[in-house]
Chains A and B, each alone.
Chain A
Amino acid sequence: MRLTQYFAEAFAVLAGNKIRTLLTALGLIIGVMAVIAIQVLGAGMSGAIQGILGALSDRTFIVLPNQQQADFTRAAIRLSDLQRAKNEVPNVVDAIPAAPQSLRGRYGHTSRRVTVGAGTDERFAATTPIHYGRKLDPDDIALARHVCVITEKAAVKLGITGDPTGSSLRVGEHRYRIIGVLGKSNEGILPGPVAADVAIPYTTYEREYARSRAIVFVRVLMDDPSKVADTEIAMQNWLKRIKGGRVEYQTFDRKSFSKAIDGIFGAVTFVVALIGAVSLLVAGIGILNIMLVSVAERTREIGLRKAIGATRFQVLLQFFIEALALSAFGCLVGMVLGIAIGAFVNGQFIVKLSGITAPIPWVRSIAIATGFATVVTLAFGTYPAWRAATLDPIEALRYE
């Protein structure tokens, strides 16, 4: 079989009917475009979030009381608990309060509200690049120094230009010497503890902000990151024991975050697949209709082809490939547009927010486009082709 010839003829027929071809393919173009654009965006989003989580250290996890439980007050975690946990729970190096405070920050004549969080040294911190100065080190923490590392965003907010290291930043009632400015962070989308504007040594933080109140989040630092699951359970059990009674805690680490996010994206993918199936059906019916019209219009041509010796299979193949060419065209255009739109929106919003550029899921996009084309052709191109193939040549030649 000379398939290339069949394809060449099919494309010639489609090109000879440009408006009809375009309108018929439009359903497919829009369907494939939407599905692929969402895939690209999903990949961008997922990549951004995974990137942010990747920036979280494997040596930490978060523990917090469940929101809904019988005695929330009893379950509340206090600073004294954390100091005990360090000594009593295996593999726990330290446990630190992790919910940042929102306070007024003053630098020079500029006064803005900033968040202050408990910072750790590099072993437990995100791998954020440093812009000026240095990060917190174990000495800062051991000595509970009055120093801070600020984010680039906070520097902009406070009107800081150039290298501010060594100068003083007033936050609430206290003064801290700025020792470093972090570079563009990977954490833009995630709010909360990892994104505090001003990070002070957690020891300093405990002394100045966490003494007298319940702690919302606890960040646990581990010695051996491979024992994270055991340590989480041990920490929960230990908290239950010291609090007595029916209290509930939950823990999150990088893996369980990832898992939760994978779950969300799984659901999104499922919905997208449903939308895809519906658009596939609509587009397929359009193609079915136009192929039936095409067969009817070309009845005499079919009669002629059969008269000069084309077999049923050859006629079937001709119209089947025409349907295939039509859906291949629609899916290809849809794919290109989908990737373009997805990449544009991704670039304009997600990348700008997160600073992470996820790779375009080429393989998946091509698979979707190919899958669409195959399913549409098989499901909706076969019947018209079969109709053409089984036409009686005598009747067909007489058809007006």
Chain B
Amino acid sequence: MNDYLQLEPADRAAIDVRDVTKTYDLGDVKVEALRGVTFTITRGEYVAIMGPSGSGKSTLMNLLGCLDRPTTGRYFLDGSDVSTLGDDQLAAIRLKKLGFVFQGFNLLPRTTALKNVALPLFYAGINSKKRNATAADQLREVGLGDRMDHKPSELSGGQQQRVAIARALVNDPAVVLADEPTGNLDSQTSEEIMALFGHLNDGGRTIIMVTHDEDVAGHARRIIRLRDGRIVSDQVTVRS
């Protein structure tokens, strides 16, 4: 019996992916980026997704991040099926349930750290007083309580990534998705950021990280490896 036919999501699963495929139709050629991927991630897990380029890890990340829809298969996020939602419904899911951390930080220039962190709350329709208070709390949590009024250009790379992490957390998401979060950072800063992720995970956050760096992946508790659109291994790591 295939898991796919079971319509209810697995208990306590933050993410439940069942036989998901993704095919890009490029006119003449069809590119099968994912060829049937099934896994679950329970709440509180810290998972690294690894694989060489072209393995489908970016495609998987986009699907997990509700930026795209699977061609076939089912995806339950925090208990609800999001595989067939429309653009605006997906936007609402991203707003409520997901937090993104990017390699390039993607902070708004000429905007203070506080305002950057508060941005998701703006789209959630929260009033400015409450937005600022929540964003300030979140910045303090990532250790930037004294940098709230600084603009990205006035912050170091590590500090910028902390701001981005605070922004990812400010809406209290079910899952934090990090795409090569240390790709633009030196090794010492990378360690700091990884320590922050570890700390957040200890606090109960579900974290999924895409990386090609074994050292970085080593901080996660579970590594899913992809190759040619399929999972080739899925193992729990021993923390160093």
Contact = CB atoms under 8 A, between A and B. Distances in A.
Interface stretch (B86-94, B207-215, B228-236): B86-94
B27 interface: no
Interface string A185-227: 0000000000000000000000000000000000000000000
Interface stretch (B10-18, B42-50, B100-108, B191-199): B100-108
B110 interface: yes
Contact of B92 (A16, A311, A397): A311
Contacts of A304: 102, 106, 108
Contact of A309 (B95, B106, B108, B127): B95
Contact of A310 (B62, B65, B91, B128): B91
A309 B110 contact: no
B62 A308 contact: no
For B65, B91, B100, B120, which residue has the most chain A Cβ atoms within 10 angstroms?
B91
B224 interface: no
- Of the four ranges (under 10, 10 to 19, 20 to 34, 35 or more), the interface on chain B belongs to 20 to 34
Contact of A308 (B68, B94, B104, B127): B94
A304 B110 CA distance: 15
Given A16-B110, A394-B62, A309 B67 contact: no
Interface string A114-151: 00000000000000000000000000000000000000
Interface in B169-193: 171
Interface string A298-315: 001101111111111110
Contacts of A300: 104, 106
A310 B91 CA distance: 6
A309 B96 contact: yes
A308 B119 CA distance: 8
A297 to B, nearest CB: 11
Contacts of A393: 67
A397 B106 contact: yes
A206 to B, nearest CB: 83
Contacts of B95: 308-310
A21 to B, nearest CB: 14
A393 B98 CA distance: 15
B205 interface: no
Given A309-B95, A309-B124, A311-B92, A12 B110 contact: yes
6 contacts: A12-B111, A304-B102, A305-B119, A307-B106, A309-B95, A394-B67
Given A306-B91, A313-B88, 14 more contacts: A2-B125, A2-B127, A303-B106, A307-B106, A308-B120, A309-B92, A309-B95, A309-B120, A309-B124, A310-B123, A311-B88, A311-B91, A312-B88, A393-B67
Interface of A: 2, 5, 12, 16, 300-301, 303-314, 393-394, 397
